Structure 1
């Protein structure tokens, strides 16, 4: 969760196999550039161009996030920077949450799966559930207490509050 220009962004990644493939391809130009720098005593222009390609790939790799706008729309920004997906929050029927993933199920039956870290996912679900246009349900699919980080978060808050009261 990052706040840039007054908008809160909740970052996500695609499926794990696609992420591994993408990031493996992303690091190829930097290794080529390092080998070009090693071979010559001067800075070759080819090495600098490979570093520029690497930086562009890294920028595209981190360009995946959600934005909940004030007009009750959910923007799903992905690698395609020219066409972000704009979804009406009222059309989300269900949000299925597991330890590592978040699935948005829409009224037309389509579903999209996103991989998110624990805390951005928690804050995204909180912001989505508190939106007045959201009429769907949030379903936690991890029923084990050891995997349910919402309970850990709740218990952590209760323990801190009880420690403050004792002081």
Structure 2
């Protein structure tokens, strides 16, 4: 059976920096394309790098397994596998969710998600038998972390 994945983006400042650099690569490729009237190897290589970074940017997702919540991130160092029973609270905002768990380095982590994906993830995690966390609907939760 194919596992259901729920895509997410990181906290707002990190997402803005990542996607700005990625689209900067696209614009560099377009500038290189305008320099020549025929196909140019360098611009095609830079365009390929843009597509690679675009693929990597969308390669952030959750997977809910037997007793684990797998958080797949861009960098292998940032990928986490936390137990569902270790999740203390899940705050659901209009555009994001914040998961509080003792397995995180900073106790909480914020994830930006689209509305349909967020609702599907919340419904799937609610049905998990090991989940003892409170799910709080917080309309004032913003997509930026406050320190």
TM range (shorter): 0.7 to 0.9
The aligned residue for residue 126 of structure 1 is: 123
Deviation at 1:83, TM superposition (A): 6.0
Aligned residue pairs total 138
Structure 2's unaligned 5+ residue stretches are 141-147
The aligned residue for residue 94 of structure 1 is: 89
The two structures have a TM-score, normalised by structure 1, of: 0.77
Which secondary structure does the structure 2 equivalent of 1:7 belong to? coil
Deviation at 1:17, TM superposition (A): 2.1
- The whole-number CA distance in structure 2 between the counterparts of 1:135 and 1:121 is 19
- The whole-number CA distance in structure 2 between the counterparts of 1:141 and 1:32 is 41
Higher Rg of the two aligned structures: 1
The aligned residue for residue 22 of structure 1 is: 18
Deviations 1:78-116 (CA, angstroms, capped at 9, x unpaired):
111466311100000110111111011114671111111
The two structures have a TM-score, normalised by structure 2, of: 0.86
**Structure with greater helix share of residues:** 1
User: What is the Cα-based RMSD across aligned positions, in Å?
Assistant: 1.8
17-26 or 126-135: which moved more? 17-26
- The whole-number CA distance in structure 2 between the counterparts of 1:48 and 1:111 is 41
Structure 1's unaligned 5+ residue stretches are 144-167
- The whole-number CA distance in structure 1 between the counterparts of 2:133 and 2:11 is 24
Larger relative contact order (C-alpha < 8 A, sep ≥ 6)?
Answer: 2
Return structure 1 stretches of 4+ with deviation > 6 angstroms: none
1:35 to 31, 51, 66: 31
Deviation at 1:37, TM superposition (A): 1.6
- The whole-number CA distance in structure 2 between the counterparts of 1:41 and 1:121 is 45
